[in-house]
Amino acid sequence: MTKDLIEKAKDKFAEIIKEQLERVEVLKKTIADIDYKKLTPIIIGICFGDGIGEVISRHAQRVLAHVLKDEVSKGKIVFKDIDGLTIENRAKQMKAIPDDVLEEIKSCHVILKGPTTTPQTGDKWPNIESANVAMRRYLDLFANVRPVKVPKEGIDWCFFRENTEGAYILGSKGFDVSQDLSVDFKVITEQGAERIIRMAFEYARKNKIDRVTVVTKSNVVKTTDGRFSKVAFRIAREYPQIRLDEWYIDIMTAKLIDPLRRKDFKVIVLPNLYGDILTDEAAQLQGGVGTAGSANIGKRWAMFEAIHGSAPRMVKEGRAKFADPSSMIRASAMLLRHIGYLQPAEKVEQALEICGQYEKKITITGRESAATGSEYTDYILSWIDNPRLAESYKTFIS
Ligand code: IPM
Ligand code: MG
């Protein structure tokens, strides 16, 4: 009996190792970055998702279409609506991303993606893999870049979360060895660690930031986190002007709420699961997960999304129209920056900060007593169109 179980487990393990060794070979091949300046048109796909996703991605689309209207009329930008990423359709097709939807996504250059429901053990949906995690893997979106800014507290962080490995890559491939024993896997590869760490260092170099922080638990999770940490120190040798320090995830979580220490952190690079957790905490300090956007960047595609989920509870309580679209609008600004539209990106970001952190003439809380997402989007648009935007922003942050 035990022997049988071990044999079965060995077979599964062998399959996983084979797949990962093949993946490493693919990672070893370098692919050039896309030059968006040379692309006409740039195709922006909008995946509406489900739950509040369907509502807030339309608000974000409205902002994008507004700031890009000249580009659209010149034929430089094309929007493509992509339906079919709803939980209902994914459950019906029993696929994290149905094949036809994936084809459509792949026909775009960049994607704005609304939140999608991730089934969990015990809910009414079949336990299919998360659409986010699948999309990150299918499109090899290895860098999850999550900025968090609270200017009045001196906080200006940029998190580089590894997005395709760690505890996530095989999250759906773990297995129950017996009735009593379950095993999941965590994988870190030299190449996977290197590409995200290098991106963090390059970001620091370009932005004249002299410090990068790597977050692990390499004192306990010695092999995988140990490798991540070693790669970070190896890459750091190529950047003598940048100091690298390593923090363990537990104390790092504490330091993010230490007002004396937290503003010293600037660029933070970390494996997948720690990045997932720490960025929610960081976003809370900025005003909640509803205010944070997230870029998922790969060599061929890039996808931009909110950092939160589809909030089924809000939908059930009839509050979807009160959901805060700021996260998706911030994701849109990140998308604009990524494809080289820096000026409209800056306008959107400044308007978001003025509305959410300074002027606060209209507030959004997710409840009926405050604005609807649509009203709040109008408020943001009014600042985007305000000729005194840049000047007012300077006054606000000073
Ligand atoms: C995120 C989310 C996802 C993740 C979920 C929805 C699978 O929490 O983007 O941070 O864990 O990566
Ligand atoms: Mg998360």
Q: Which atom of ligand 1 is the closest one to the Cα of 279? A: 10
pLDDT score at 121? 79
For residue 50, the CA-to-ligand 1 centroid distance in Å is: 15
* Separation of CA 75 and ligand 2 centre (Å): 36
Calculate ∠ Cα 205-206-208, nearest 5°.
60
Q: Residue 123: is its pLDDT beyond 90?
A: no
The answer to whether residue 172 scores a pLDDT higher than 80 is: no
The mean pLDDT of the chain is 94
Q: Is 184 exposed, middle or buried (0-12, 13-18, 19+ CB in 10 A)?
A: exposed
**Angle CA 50–52–57, to nearest 5:** 80
pLDDT at res. 170: 67
What is the average per-residue pLDDT within 145-170?
Answer: 91
Amino acid 334: pLDDT: 96
Pocket residues for ligand 1 (CB within 6 Å)?
118, 130, 132-133, 276, 307, 309
Q: What's the gap in Å between 167 CA and the centre of ligand 2?
A: 13
pTM: 0.92
Using one digit for the tens of pLDDT, what is the confidence trace for 342-388? Answer: 999 999 999 999 999 899 999 999 999 999 999 999 999 999 999 99
Distance from C-alpha of 354 to C-alpha of 34, rounded to nearest angstrom = 33
Given pLDDT bands bounded at 50, 70 and 90, which one contains residue 188? very high
Q: Which ligand is nearest to the CA of 168?
A: 1
Buried/exposed 243-252: b ≥16 CB within 10 Å, e otherwise: ebebbbbeeb
Q: What is the pLDDT of residue 83?
A: 92
Helical segments of 47-141, H only: 52-67, 69-73, 87-93, 99-106, 131-138
Taking the centre of ligand 1 as the mean of its atom positions, its distance from the CA of residue 307, in whole angstroms, is: 7
Q: Burial-class residue 354 by CB neighbours within 10 Å (0-12, 13-18, 19+).
A: buried
| pLDDT tens column, 235-261 | 999 999 999 999 999 999 999 999 999
How many helices (H) and strands (E) in the chain? 16, 12
* Structural element, H or E, at residue 293: strand 293-297
Whether residue 169 is predicted with pLDDT greater than 80 in this model: the reply is no
Listed residue (189, 187, 190) closest to 234, CA to CA: 190
Q: What is the pLDDT of residue 318?
A: 96
Lowest mean pLDDT among 109-113, 210-214, 287-291: 287-291
Quick one: average pLDDT of 26-50?
Answer: 93
Residue labelled with tokens 């190896």: 234
Nearest CA to ligand 1 atom 1: 307
Q: Looking at residue 398, what is its pLDDT? A: 83
Atom of ligand 1 nearest to the CA of 309: 6
Strand-strand pairing, 243-248 and 293-297: unpaired
Mean of the pLDDT values across residues 64-85?
Answer: 97
- Which whole number is the average pLDDT over 26-45? 92
Decide: 333 and 352 in contact? Cβ < 8 Å: yes
Ligand with minimal distance to 294 CA: 1
Ligand 1 atom with least separation from CA of 133: 7
pLDDT tens figures, 75-118: 999 999 999 999 999 999 999 999 999 999 999 999 999 999 99
- Mean pLDDT value across residues 51-71: 97
Tell me the pLDDT tens digit for each residue of 297-345: 999 999 999 989 999 999 999 999 999 999 999 999 999 999 999 999 9
Whether the per-residue pLDDT at 171 is higher than 70: the answer is: no
What's at 297, amino acid-wise?
I
Note the pLDDT of residue 30: 83
